[in-house]
Structure 1
Amino acid sequence: MYFVNKEQLNTKLNYLQQLLTDYPQQKQNHYAFERIAQMLIEASVDIGNMIIDGFILRDPGNYKDVIDILELEGVISKETQQYINKTVEVRKQFVHYYDELNATELIPIFDESVQYYQHFITEVLQFLESENVPITAFGQKGE
């Protein structure tokens, strides 16, 4: 292990958890859905990049690579990787084609994947625990 900024990682995990909490109530507001959906992708990739950088894992070339590396290195399960990558694949629509976005078509993809974002948090925490990086999604252990 090289270095993992536990405070920053904790903040991002908490943010991801809050997005998951807000998603069911907010998804019918298309603007709220767009923001939450995009931030689910961004936060999980940021967390993935922090882990990849901290443990000097492979160098990702794009967003999908980040999630793939996490699975290949045993941080997340294959199933979690597959469902999160389904959402990563539509990121471009949020970023570049936001004026043409049809949230009604995208909501089912995220409805199906939300539970895997929760798995992502759990699996990341389990990995960090196994690597002796004592952190939880609700603060560092011992606080």
Structure 2
Amino acid sequence: MYYVNREQIGVRLQAVDEIAEALHDVASNWQGTLLQGLAQERALHLAIETVTDVGSYLIDGFIMRDASSYEDIIEITGEEGVFPANMLGTLIELVKLRRPLVQEYFVWPRSELHPLSVRIADLLPEYKAAVEQYLEREL
């Protein structure tokens, strides 16, 4: 029997709606201010951490193959059918932003609306639903 930490997955999935709402708000009112730029960075960073944390819990709980990177977490969970195949490319694109956001933040173009902000805002609720459906199906 698998031990899947549904509590911790649930805690992280609860944040999805707020992150998506923040990204929608920032994108729809974009004027390129410093505050908007910082809000966008943080929301994108939280989106990355959420999908990779959830993916890690799923990989550990269902004893999937070990991940060697953030991209690998997304690829493994995609291969296992956690979310629809059409989400894979966008989620990988998202997690590739982690390094620029966390390590190269001093060159991040804060005055520009990142194209992923709108796409991820729309995708996150679908990702959440897909994970919940996966858990129901597998458990």
Q: Would the TM-score normalized by the shorter structure come out above 0.5?
A: yes
Q: Is the 8 A contact 2:52 2:70 kept in 1?
A: yes
**Bigger relative contact order (CA 8 A; separation at least 6):** 2
Q: Unpaired segments of 5 or more residues in structure 2?
A: 31-35
Match of 1:86 in 2: 93
Match of 1:59 in 2: 66
TM-score, with length taken from structure 1: 0.85
TM alignment of 1:39-118, pairs within 5 A:
39-105=46-112, 107-118=114-125
Q: Is the 8 A contact 1:63 1:88 kept in 2?
A: yes
Percent identity of equivalent pairs: 30
Match of 2:13 in 1: 13
Q: Greater CA deviation, 38-47 or 116-125? A: 116-125
Q: Unpaired segments of 5 or more residues in structure 1?
A: 133-143
Q: Is the 8 A contact 2:3 2:62 kept in 1?
A: yes
Q: Is the 8 A contact 1:12 1:47 kept in 2?
A: yes
Stretches of 4+ aligned residues off by more than 4 angstroms = none
For 1:103, what is the secondary structure of its paired residue? coil
CA distance, structure 2, for counterparts of residue 84 and residue 114 of structure 1: 12
- Work out the number of aligned pairs and report it: 132
TM-score, with length taken from structure 2: 0.87
